Amino acid sequence: MDYTALQVGAILFVATFIRSAFGFGEALVAVPLLALFMPVTVAAPIAALVSVTVAGVVVVQDWRHVRWESALRLVLSTVAGIPLGLLLLTHAPEPVVKTVLALVIIAFSLHALRSGGWRLASDATAWLFGVAAGILGGAYGMNGPPLAVYGSARRWSPAEFRATLQAYFLPASAAGMAGYWWVGLWTRSVTRIYLLSLPVVLAAAVLGRLAGQRMSVRRFMIAIYMGLLAIGVVLLIQAARFHR
């Protein structure tokens, strides 16, 4: 295995560990870092295949913890949000959108870290967060933040949080792979790199799950809010770099 293959394996290990432990957040690691070693048209399908794999492993292991009604509502409303995301991508100034999104995420995260966040008593508003996830996913491939905000507001346990988000990502990522296949981006090279990395991905999925299970509810939620805060900061940096 050459040096590049080792770097790709290390990136996928870290991204998978984060995803398995917390349910989201690998988008900060996988595609941006993989794109340093390969075209984005290769990195994105590989990340999607890994996403399907991790989601499948978690759902099989923790299906008893999945909030199935919540997951279904989020998936269906995401489908409605994707066209809006594509419209946003093609018509709205990217730095403006990312700046506004970053400020909202940062404000929510800081408020939640200070006061514990706010609470939603039912799934009645799930469609709002699903549409938001679809918009951000369609525009920037970033479904996670609205889902994380929703799960924290619903006060899901760590096990429910991780499992329900993976029940969402499984069909969402599978649909993404179908799209990559349709446009010809699911190539033999993508499959080869994915299969070579699969042992590392599976090991990271197991270790991430164990790490997540060892956290108390309080520490888990603090980690979620800190992850959202990191996403907001990264978005601000991306928006600032656009103007350089």
pLDDT digits (tens, 9 = 90+) for 80-112: 888 887 787 777 787 887 888 888 888 888 888
Quote the pLDDT of residue 95. 82
Angle, alpha carbons 218-133-77 (nearest 5°): 115
Quote the pLDDT of residue 2. 61
Amino acid in position 110: L
Quote the pLDDT of residue 69. 93
Range of the domain at 211: 3-242
Is 68:167 a contact under the CB 8 Å cutoff? yes
Cα dist. 40→43, 46, 76, 90 in Å?
A: 5, 10, 28, 19
Amino acid in position 41: T
- Specify burial of residue 7 (Cβ count, 10 A radius: 0-12, 13-18, 19+): middle
Nearest in space to 168 (alpha carbons), one of 23, 60, 46, 1: 23
Low-confidence ranges of the chain (pLDDT < 70): 1-3, 27, 117, 242-244
Q: How many separate domains does the chain show? A: 1
Quote the pLDDT of residue 94. 76
DSSP line for 17-82: HHHHHHSS-GGGTHHHHHTTTS-HHHHHHHHHHHHHHHHHHHHHHHGGG--HHHHHHHHHHHHHHH
Predicted TM-score (pTM) of this structure? 0.82
Quote the pLDDT of residue 160. 92
66 sits in the region (left: phi over 0; alpha: psi -120 to 50; else beta) called beta
Q: Look up residue 130 and give its two tokens.
A: 């699903």
Quote the pLDDT of residue 61. 87
Nearest in space to 59 (alpha carbons), one of 68, 69, 48: 68
